[in-house]
Amino acid sequence: MLNKNEDNERHRLFSRRTLFLAGGQAALLSALAGRMYYLQVLQSDRYVTLAEENRINLRLLPPPRGRIVDRFGVPLADNQQNFRVVLVSEQAKDVVATLDALSRIIELGEHDYKRVLREVKRKRGFVPVTVRDNLSWEQVSRVEVNSPELPGVSIEMGETRNYPYGESLSHVLGYVAAVSERELTGDPLLELPGFRIGKNGIERQHDLLLRGAAGNSQIEVNAYGRAIRELTRDEGKPGHEMVLTIDAGLQTFVHKRLSNEKSAAAVVIDIKNGDVLALSSVPSFDPNAFSMGLSSVQWRTWIEDPLHPLTNKSINGTFAPGSTFKMMVALAALEAGIGPGHKVFCPGFMKLGRSRFHCWKRHGHGWLEMRQGIQFSCDVYFYDLARKLGIDRIAAMAKRFGLGAQVGIDLPHERGGVIPTRDWKLAEIGEPWQGGETLVSAIGQGFVLTTPLQLATMVARIGSGGLAVKPRLTRGIRAENGEGVEIAEPVFESMGIPPQHMKIIHQSMDAVSNHRRGTAYRARIEEEGWELAGKTGTSQVRRISLAERAAGVTKNEQLPWRRRDHALFVAFAPVDSPRYACAVVVEHGGGGSKFAAPIARDILIETQRRQPALKPALPLVAGAVPDNEA
């Protein structure tokens, strides 16, 4: 009986354990089925996406950079095919031997060897490494012919920026170069190998529009990341085409004419609409060097050059305007009620306290009225006006004509110059204004500093009869589909200068160039209907001692170049119907009438000769451009 009870107890215990085990198995199977349902049904979309991401590699494609063209559609900056030779290390097997064989076909320097070997170690074996780019067609042909002896070597094609006009437009266009670390913004496009952005000039000013929108390519890869095939490809959107106001032919002429000088700048403006037809600075540089790969030697040569070829002197160089500033003093005097008949006797100097302020003409000009004061550029006449006016009235007039502040042209790095006032000196130098400083400022010396662009703007406003002409470089924008926007033709406001005052200034500048006794008569335009009206300027860069003045002032030609005067000339043409304004500055050139005026004359002759061609030929859709894009 006892044994039977024990058997029953053991049977019940076994049954319970079997039941527990079966229940546990059922629970586990239920959990597994639930998890499988969750993963395969509820989360199927997510894991399909993750699987696709492991299988498909999405790559960004850099868009073609937009062209830059002149007012007639002539390409100033475009893209050209760039052939490069690449090496796949796993195919080459012996990389050094392959490089040695390649060096017998195209030139490879020690730097190329080190760079390629460094990248081969850093990258996977199937990733191509650039050995040399910007190959000529002849070099490409030699590599292709010898390809059986060059395992792992192949030719790829890309694009590089090209500037057909080279040095003549480098300061206007700027250049493109690789993205530096501080320029990274999180945009993945900027991190692409070899991607370049605008670093200066129009390339920088309109960089975002010129870049375009990136494309993409979907590449199927295996577990090791090796590309198997391309699934889809979207080329993206090319950058916009920028239409400038520049006339490439005139720009080339101006650059060539200035190239006879060591350092100079010139600006030509269409008075009617503010279009900058030419803007040149010499010495210059070749922007193609940045696209082709600038050597450290060349970069060091440019930045150490005392003539500063990388600086755009037309907007960034500041110079004392000399006698070109005298029109501002005359207009301030007219506004203050001093009439054009106001007479001053010039004995060759003016006394103020214990100091003498000399005229450029040692023995003086005698009695002069305002027109003659400008025509003969008499310093004493303007000393007299300055004493009556004070510096603040002169400064107020100069600022109305665009001097002493950025004029707002669509280029980076424009400088504002200086038009001093009493408050300015106190704030900047911490000293009160002196009466002698007013006299010196009246002849465009002392603290007064202007850029060639400001001087061109000043004379454009004079030529317009007193309109607030504002220079511009961008005329329109064109998209890939051919549609474009032309920046609306500007309407300039009056500056409130009485017409009779402007007439006096016009007549005075006319006499400077077209009267036999005018300071620029030898640089006049003789073609009827093309005559110019101008004003010479010579600004000193050194102080002339009393001993030197008594013995005779040393001529510029006898001085070291850096101690010579700056030569300046401003002008508008034609006299009877002003259309074009020009400013020329020859750094350390000497006298303005001798060195700057002939250059301006030649430029204005060429400008008017090209007049029938100055209407833009590009059909653009009329409209407005946002301020941040104009």
Alpha-carbon gap, residue 440 to 476, rounded angstroms = 43
Instruction: Say which residues have a Cβ less than 8 Å from residue 589's Cβ, sequence separation at least 6.
Output: 261, 264, 564, 565, 566, 567, 595, 596
The Cβ of residue 78 has, within 10 Å, a number of other Cβ atoms equal to 17
Query: Which of helix, strand or coil describes residue 468?
Result: coil
Q: Are strands 264-270 and 276-282 parallel, antiparallel or unpaired?
A: antiparallel
Question: Token pair of 8, please?
Answer: 């029953």
The Cβ of residue 194 has, within 10 Å, a number of other Cβ atoms equal to 14
Q: Which of 612, 580, 570, 601 is nearest to 270 (CA)?
A: 580
Question: Token pair of 374, please?
Answer: 């400008």
Instruction: Indicate the DSSP class of residue 42.
Output: I
323: annotated active-site residue: yes
Alpha-carbon gap, residue 30 to 570, rounded angstroms = 94
Q: Which of 363, 360, 381 is nearest to 372 (CA)?
A: 381
Instruction: Say which residues have a Cβ less than 8 Å from residue 278's Cβ, sequence separation at least 6.
Output: 246, 247, 250, 251, 253, 254, 266, 267, 268, 603, 607
- Structural contact between residues 202 and 186, judged by C-beta atoms closer than 8 angstroms: no
R_g (Cα) of the chain, nearest Å: 36
- Structural contact between residues 67 and 211, judged by C-beta atoms closer than 8 angstroms: no
| Alpha-helical runs (H) found in 306-451 | 313-316, 326-335, 370-375, 379-389, 391-400, 422-428, 435-442
Question: Token pair of 150, please?
Answer: 């060059």
Q: Are strands 474-478 and 241-244 parallel, antiparallel or unpaired?
A: antiparallel
Of 323, 377, 464, 539, which one is the catalytic site residue?
323
Question: Token pair of 217, please?
Answer: 């390519």
- Structural contact between residues 131 and 102, judged by C-beta atoms closer than 8 angstroms: yes
Backbone angles phi and psi of 108, in degrees to 5: -130, 125
- Structural contact between residues 564 and 541, judged by C-beta atoms closer than 8 angstroms: yes
Largest CA distance in the chain: 157
Distance, C-alpha 393 to centroid of its chain: 34
User: Exposed, middle or buried, 448 (CB in 10 Å: 0-12/13-18/19+)?
Assistant: buried
* Residue 471: cis peptide before it, omega within 30 degrees of 0: no
Enzyme catalytic residues: 323
